[in-house]
A and B are shown apart, each in its own frame.
Chain A
Amino acid sequence: MDDPYKSVPIRSSEITPKSLYLSRRDFMKTAGAVAATTLLAACAPGLATGNLPTPTGLSVSQKTDELGDPLNSYQDITNYNNYYEFTTDKQGVAPLSANFKTEPWSVQVYGLVANPKTYAVEDLIQKFPPQERIYRLRCVEAWSLVVPWDGFPLSNILKEVQPTSAAKFVRFEAILDPKDMPGQNDPTYPWPYQEGLRLDEAMNDLTILATGLYGEPLPPQDGAPIRLVVPWKYGFKSIKAIVKIELVATQPATLWDTIAPDEYGFYSNVNPNRPHPRWSQATELRLGENKRIPTLLFNGYGSEVASMYTGMDLIANY
Chain B
Amino acid sequence: MLKKKSQITPLQILVHVGAWYPLLHLGFDYLTGRMSINPIQEIEQHTGLAAVFLLVLSLACTPLSTVLGWREAIKRRKALGLYGFAYTVLHMGVYVALDFSFLWSQIWFNIVNERYLLVGTLAVVLLIPLAVTSFQYFQKSMGKNWKRLHNLVYLIVPMAVLHYAWSKKGDLFHLRGDILYPLIYALVVILLLALRLPFMRRLTSSWRRQLTTKLQKILARVHQPPKAKPSFVNDPSTPPQEGETTGG
Task: Write the residues of chain A forming the contact surface with B, with a CB cutoff of 8 angstroms.
Answer: 27-28, 31-32, 34-36, 39, 43-45, 47-49, 75-76, 79-80, 87-91, 143, 186-188, 275, 277-280, 282-283, 285, 287-288, 290-292
Contacts and interface: CB of A to CB of B under 8 A. Distances in A.
Contact of A31 (B34, B40, B42): B34
B37 A39 contact: no
A222 to B, nearest CB: 13
Contacts of B49: 44
Contacts of B136: none
B106 A31 contact: no
Nearest to A82: B169
B99 A285 contact: yes
A88 B180 CA distance: 13
B93 to A, nearest CB: 15
B114 to A, nearest CB: 5
Interface in B13-48: 21-22, 25, 28-29, 32-34, 36-42, 46
A44 B114 contact: no
23 contacts: A28-B33, A31-B34, A32-B33, A32-B34, A35-B34, A44-B25, A49-B36, A80-B36, A80-B38, A87-B178, A88-B169, A88-B177, A89-B169, A90-B38, A188-B174, A277-B113, A278-B114, A279-B109, A279-B113, A283-B100, A283-B106, A285-B38, A292-B103
A298 B10 CA distance: 59
B77 to A, nearest CB: 22
B29 A75 contact: no
A287 B32 contact: no
B101 interface: yes
Given A31-B34, A32-B32, A32-B33, A290 B46 contact: no
B181 interface: yes
A87 B179 CA distance: 12
Contacts of B22: 44
Contact of A279 (B40, B105, B114, B181): B114
Nearest to A282: B106
9 closest Cβ contacts across the A-B interface? A88-B169, A80-B37, A31-B32, A280-B106, A28-B33, A278-B114, A280-B109, A76-B37, A35-B32
A285 B32 contact: no
Contact of B178 (A49, A75, A88, A143): A88
Interface of B: 21-22, 25, 28-29, 32-34, 36-42, 46, 49, 99-101, 103, 105-106, 109-110, 113-115, 169-171, 174, 176-178, 181
Contact of A91 (B21, B36, B169): B36
Contacts of A91: 36-37
Contacts of A76: 37
Contact of A278 (B42, B113, B174): B113
B32 A280 contact: no
Contact of A287 (B38, B99, B101, B181): B38
Contacts of B99: 285, 292
Contacts of B36: 49, 79-80, 91
B181 to A, nearest CB: 7
Contacts of A288: 37
B164 to A, nearest CB: 13
B171 A188 contact: yes
B25 A47 contact: yes
B46 A39 contact: no
A188 B110 CA distance: 25
Contact of A39 (B25, B33, B42): B25
Given A79-B36, A287-B37, A290-B39, 8 more contacts: A31-B32, A31-B33, A31-B34, A32-B33, A39-B28, A47-B46, A80-B37, A186-B177
A177 B194 CA distance: 44
Given A186-B177, A188-B171, A278-B113, A34 B38 contact: no
Given A80-B36, A91-B37, A47 B170 contact: no
A207 B99 CA distance: 31
Contact of B170 (A34, A79, A88, A287): A88
A89 B167 CA distance: 12
A91 B103 CA distance: 27
Nearest to B18: A43
Contacts of B103: 282-283, 292
